[in-house]
Amino acid sequence: MAGPLVRRADFLMTLAYATDLATGHSRDFALRSCVLAMRFAEVAGLDENMRRKVYHQALLRYIGCNADTHLLAAAWGDEITLRRELHYIDIGNRAEFVEIFVRAITRKLAGASAEELAKAVEQGLAEGPQVNIPILSGHCEVAQRIAERIGLPEDIRENLGQIYERWDGKGLPRGLSGDAVKFPVRLVTLAQDAIALSDLHGYETMTAKIAERAGGGYETEMAQLFLDHCEQLMVGLDGPVDRETILAIEPLPHAMLDETDCEQAYLAIADMIDMRMPFTFGHSRAVAALAEAAGKRVGLPAADIRAVRWAAYTHDIGELAIPVSTWMRPNALTERETDAARLHPYHGERALSPLGGDGKAVAALVLRHHERLDGSGYHRYAKAPDLSPAARILAAAEAFQTAREARPHRPALSDAAAASKLRGAVREGKLCPDAVEAVLASAGQPARRNAAERPSGLTPREIEVLQLIAAGHTAKEAARRLEIAPKTADNHIQSLYSKIGVTTRAGAALYALERGMIQHGISAA
Ligand SMILES: [Fe+2]
Ligand SMILES: [Fe+2]
């Protein structure tokens, strides 16, 4: 197996980026909290082993928070806004806690009568613990399992089983108190609250609130130590924190992941993404299986096949920025929601591109997974020349798999209907015919008739034009030979260039040559 490829801390940052999105935290929240927690650990005189636990707790605290998000959204509506609001309050203070949940129900039932709202609030607050506690327990369990899958040892994982516990026993889900709550858990909770409160209220109010909560949410001595050094601890943390800083503060030893470990880490991310909603369970794994099989079928190099598989595992990581409550609605997205949803490939690229090894290649594919050959995709409106064979396969595999999965606003298509939908997209010049046929064949769909005679979805007329320009004719000459207007010939040329992924006559000629499409007897004269 290949030697070390990626520093594990890079994967932790990818996960941190994703969970910042999913929990409504501000930009670089987990990274900034990691710097603060590590500075605080230094001030507290913690040894290397304890600092290693603090480092991982800060970056990974929320990696289990995607579990059962649909239940949270069903009960309280927009769960990202709810989570954001919870970061700023003292959850041990019942009045503040209740106010946030009343606000969530009010948001969810916008437009309801006062009577309906009052009833829903009463019911929601009565049933809240039965809804929330199992969900939060699930977060802890899933966080520990994901940490195990990325190779983290038991002493780091056990802290992730206490992510919402507090010093005074008013935390969730088990109500642990005092020293039963692990030291790194308590320290990171305080550091993360400090960042969140400082972002919202500014430095002065943050320190006042930390002082208020001493002896409650936080151990008194710990809160006091933090406040004594607060100014120096918080220096520069109102701005972004870069990757190099996080790598530099990682306690030893620095774990490196080889190809097998990376496979496990990418796969763990796939499951983390897909477990937000029942209807996306297994989506990323299924896209990966299709894309990998199709890549092999068309003869992609091994490195491209690996990149496309890893990109398929992680392609929807940016979707964590969109509340599950939005995806669960049976009606169409609003314009604003559509805009936000269309940015998920952007977030995916940002989350993945800092990864070492194949990270950049993976990120480039994730960025393009909703792009279409004719520029009608999103979010960059890339066109054929910018879409590699691997990118075309990922787009086709994703489209096919999505079509055969049910969504709240539509039923699942049968495999045959999904195949016909994809072939329709080929006819419209959106998806690559070679990629689509490779994906469909990999999914056991019968081959399209005449596929061999009409590569890349070219129309018979486009094939004629291609043969002429490949033989050295100009557009004008081709128009004359085919007895069509020069403008029409030009349109055919633009369309066929787009379909076959070239931008020059030479590129088109090579394409025709490679496929045996050159017709002898078409002289350039
Ligand atoms: Fe997807
Ligand atoms: Fe997507």
Tell me: the pLDDT tens digits for 290-336? 999 999 999 999 999 999 999 999 999 999 998 988 888 888 888 98
Average model confidence (pLDDT) across the chain: 89
Determine the distance separating the centroid of ligand 1 and the alpha carbon of 369, expressed in angstroms.
8
CA 150 – ligand 1 centroid, Å: 22
- Hey, what CATH topology would domain 458-514 get? Arc Repressor Mutant, subunit A (1.10.10)
pTM for this prediction:
0.83
Residues with Cβ–ion distance below 5 A, ligand 1 = 316, 398
Q: Using the mean position of ligand 2's atoms as its centre, give its distance from the Cα of residue 264 in Å.
A: 21
Task: Tell me how far the alpha carbon of residue 106 lies from the centroid of ligand 1, in angstroms.
Answer: 31
Range name among 102-106, 215-219, 394-398 with the lowest pLDDT average? 102-106
Compute, in angstroms, the gap from residue 370 CA to the centroid of ligand 2. Answer: 6
Task: Tell me the fold of 277-442.
Answer: Hypothetical protein af1432 (1.10.3210)
Distance CA 31, CA 317 (A): 18
Within 13 Å of residue 318, how many CA atoms lie on the same side as its CB? 24
Tell me how many degrees the CA angle 182-101-339 measures, rounded to the nearest 5: 100
Other beta carbons within 10 Å of 171: 22
Domain locations along the chain: 6-256, 277-442, 458-514
Task: Judge whether 6-256 and 277-442 match in fold.
Answer: yes
Measured over the CA atoms of residue 33, residue 39, residue 42 and residue 44, the dihedral's sign is negative
Among the bound ligands, the one closest to the CA of 322? 2
Ligand nearest to the CA of 348: 2
Which-ligand-closest: CA of 399? 1
Q: Tens digit of pLDDT for each residue in 221-257?
A: 999 999 999 999 999 999 889 999 999 999 999 999 9
What pLDDT, on the 0 to 100 scale, is given for residue 525? 37
Closest CA to 498 of 351, 370, 347, 392: 392
H/E element, 333: none
Enter the DSSP assignment of 365. Answer: H
- 430 CA distance to ligand 2 centroid (A)? 16
- Write the class of the CATH domain 6-256: mainly alpha
345 CA → ligand 2 middle, Å: 7
pLDDT band (50, 70, 90) for residue 74: confident
Residue 378 CA to ligand 1 center (angstroms) comes to 13
- Residues in CB range of 414: below 8 A, 6 or more apart: 404
**Structure letter (DSSP) for residue 214:** B
Does position 155 have pLDDT exceeding 50, yes or no?
A: yes
